[in-house]
Amino acid sequence: MPISPLLAHLAPSSVAPAALRTRRRGCLARRRLLGERKTAMGNKGFDLSCSLRKEDDDPKLSPFLRKLFKEWDDRKARGLFHHNIGSCETKVLAGEHNFVATLIEGRDQKKRPTQFGMNQVIQPFDSAKFNFTKVNPEEVIFAFEEAQNDSEKYFDNVPHAVAYSPSAILINVSPIGYCHVLLIPRIQDCLSQRVDKESFLLAMYVAREARNPFFRVGYNSLGGFATINHLHFQAYYLKVQLQYPVEKAPMEKLTTVGNGVSIIQLVDYPVSGFVFEGGACLEDLSDVVSKVCIFMQENNRPFNVLISESGKRVSLLPQVLH
């Protein structure tokens, strides 16, 4: 069944049916990225505190998270963040959905300002405005490239000598939680905040490489709370509850498309949304979701995406331009 009829109410025009793309043998060509330390949430103050206690000896942490946590802690020790994330407090709210609230004093005043209008989801990249090629080099945790085997290749900083444009992971200097980072696909290509199939698949690979239920990757479109018009995804580690409220909301299956990918609708939830899961491999799931994202962008409909369960599940929340 084509995807477009399911989403026809989201925009005035339709898209072509989602075609199955040719797969490499068994979808088993695994691309390694790279890659810790866990935090624990203590009971105090606002109910829970993101006090950055660490669990250094957990053998289950992936090499990717071990590397990421180590480098993030290093940037924190250097004082590169715009506010003190160690003093923030987090609370699981009472009620049907158990939303998570975090008190972060000073973030709105110190974060990088928005420099574009909120009336268009697709806007051209403007090199005169802030973008991630202008960050302090110390904000770069590492740059990386994909490999066709189980090897890894990464650089501790973006290498100026390379002739290609690597993808990079940066700290978010205005973090909302522990290990809040930014994933910038092909950073030197200066892509605008607009999902394509390749960039979304990269975000899915990062989620898979973490191999941890508390690490999630997200995306905000322009008009959907993105504040920088340079293609980026966000990710962070929140060990408050195993599932976010949107992940445990009541659901109703709509259909199965592609190579076994299920499309599910949220029901009895404060906002409308869809969940995507299944498929013969991660590439199948990524392909379907990226097509929906592209459909929404082209019809000027903002949205948010949450990649969870190490890339096995994707939530998509449509928004409305104001």
Structure confidence by residue, pLDDT tens digits, 8-61: 444 333 333 333 333 333 333 333 333 322 222 233 333 444 434 444 446 689
Q: Which residue has the higher pLDDT, 44 or 86?
A: 86
Residue with tokens 């975000």: 203
Structural contact between residues 85 and 171, judged by C-beta atoms closer than 8 angstroms? no
Question: Which amino acid is present at 135?
Answer: V
Give the other-Cβ count within 10 Å of 98's Cβ. 14
Q: Calculate mean pLDDT across residues 83-93.
A: 76
Q: What is the structure's pLDDT at 217?
A: 98
Q: Give the pTM.
A: 0.80
pLDDT in tens, 180-225: 999 999 999 999 999 999 999 999 999 999 999 999 999 999 999 8
Find which of 17-21, 82-86, 98-102, 130-134 is predicted with most confidence, using mean pLDDT: 130-134
Q: Provide the CATH number for the domain formed by 4-18+29-318 in this structure.
A: 3.30.428
Catalytic residue among 83, 180, 230, 232: 232
Structural contact between residues 27 and 283, judged by C-beta atoms closer than 8 angstroms? yes
CA-CA-CA-CA torsion sign (266, 271, 276, 277): negative
82 is annotated as an active-site residue = no
pLDDT in tens, 303-317: 999 999 999 999 999
Domain ranges of the chain: 4-18+29-318
Confidence of residue 92 (pLDDT cuts 50, 70, 90): confident
- Exposure string of 107-136, with b = 16+ CB inside 10 Å and e = fewer, is beeebeeeebebeebebeeeeeebbbeebe
